[in-house]
């Protein structure tokens, strides 16, 4: 796999440069992507648990807000 491209635009000169990430940048990119995937998995799990709880209670999200608020 080729490394993702870094697109740089110098606004003063309007010069556009494209280059492949170096090894250190690519390693940081992969770590960031893994962290984002883990965070999204947590968000998805919480949404699934919330939906399951609302279904068990037989109420909508708006009705739950009325009970809490």
Model pLDDT for residues 8-67, shown as the tens digit of each residue: 999 999 999 999 999 999 999 999 999 999 999 999 999 999 999 999 999 999 999 999
Cβ distance 55 to 40 under 8 Å?
no
- Decide: pTM greater than 0.85: no
Q: List the domain boundaries for the chain.
A: 5-68
| b/e 19-51 (16+ beta carbons within 10 angstroms → b) | eebeeeeeeeeeeeeeeeeeeeeeeeeeeeeee
């Amino acid at each position: 796999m080729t490394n993702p491209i870094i697109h740089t635009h110098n606004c003063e000169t309007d010069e556009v440069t494209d280059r492949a990430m170096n090894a250190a940048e690519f390693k940081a990119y992969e770590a960031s992507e893994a962290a984002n995937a883990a965070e999204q998995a947590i968000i998805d799990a919480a949404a699934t648990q919330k939906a399951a709880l609302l279904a068990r209670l037989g109420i909508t999200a708006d009705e739950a807000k009325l009970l809490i608020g």
